[in-house]
Amino acid sequence: MKALVTGGAGFIGSNVVLLLLEQGCQVRVLDKFSSGHRNNLEGLDIALTEGDIRDAETCLKACEGMDVVFHLAASVGRQRSLDFPQLDSETNLIGTVNVLEGMRKHGVARMVYSSSAAIFGEPETEAVSEDHPQNADSPYGVSKLAAEKMILSYRGLYGMDTVCLRYFNVYGRHQRYDPYGNVIPIFARRLLDRQPLPIYGDGRQTRDFLNVRDVARANYLAAIGGRSGVYNLGSGTSIAIAQLAQWMQEVSGRTVGVTHGPRRPADVPHCGANTRKAKREMGFSASVPLREGLAEYWQWLCGQEGEKKG
């Protein structure tokens, strides 16, 4: 299988690349390295196209000769989209159209798209299923939902096989600190600096975390399964943020305590994924227990920090 991975130098994309290579695929990566890291791809037998998905000609060239596209390149995060709404829409919607057009013109028949639970907005139920109302409440959520709709329209118009994977909270190797990022790398950064972990509110709010190795496996299953559709990707189990803070201190061996700030206005109390459809139709379920994954992530991160200091 010849696979194009857009955003393949990024956190999730590079893990998808690693798994595809393990499965014997020929891989081309398209990345502009704005948030991706070259050392994520160091030593890998891949073809590299450096460029921006906002450029239609770049996407056209990158799609030539491919069997499948794993589309992960994106501007990610609610707060980033509030700060830079034009960039968010240009990347997530127009960039997706450019990739789809490159596929159409070269006869690439299959796409696996990395979507987000942000398309749902504030959850109405603790376990969110695929048919939950889609009330995106940020430019990011809107742009990811619009890209999903565009992809589904290309499926209907041109007979493409398309799978949209709606990620909840992904963590794991190759995830670096980002002020716009999720709580695990933020906690990890504070632990490295031996500073207390910040919790907004009482810490009883719950979230569903999925290891990136499982996410990569879900992408591969989606590509080889011969199906189209939308699937929620989570562990199916939620954890309180206060418990997460405790576990991260335990796996790191650093007791730094926590600080409590006011609850953020947009912070929903509970959010998790109903994963039954992915298990039933794709044969996917999470395999990495959270505490094990946190320990693995901490070891990887300490290795990276050691390399920097060396």
Instruction: Tell me if 6 sits within 8 A of 99, measured CB to CB.
Output: yes
Q: Specify whether 140 is catalytic.
A: yes
Burial of 24 (0-12, 13-18, 19+ CB in 10 A): exposed
Q: Which helix (H) or strand (E) holds 212?
A: helix 212-224
Instruction: Tell me if 39 sits within 8 A of 11, measured CB to CB.
Output: no
The residue from 113, 140, 167, 171 that is catalytic is 140
Whole-number Cα distances in Å, 104 to 97, 114, 164, 244, 287: 10, 19, 18, 44, 35
Beta bridge partners of 238: 208
Instruction: Tell me if 114 sits within 8 A of 96, measured CB to CB.
Output: no
How many of the other CB atoms lie within 10 Å of CB of 226?
A: 8
Q: For residues 166 and 123, give the distance between their C-alpha atoms in angstroms, rounded to a whole number.
A: 14
Catalytically active residues, by annotation: 140
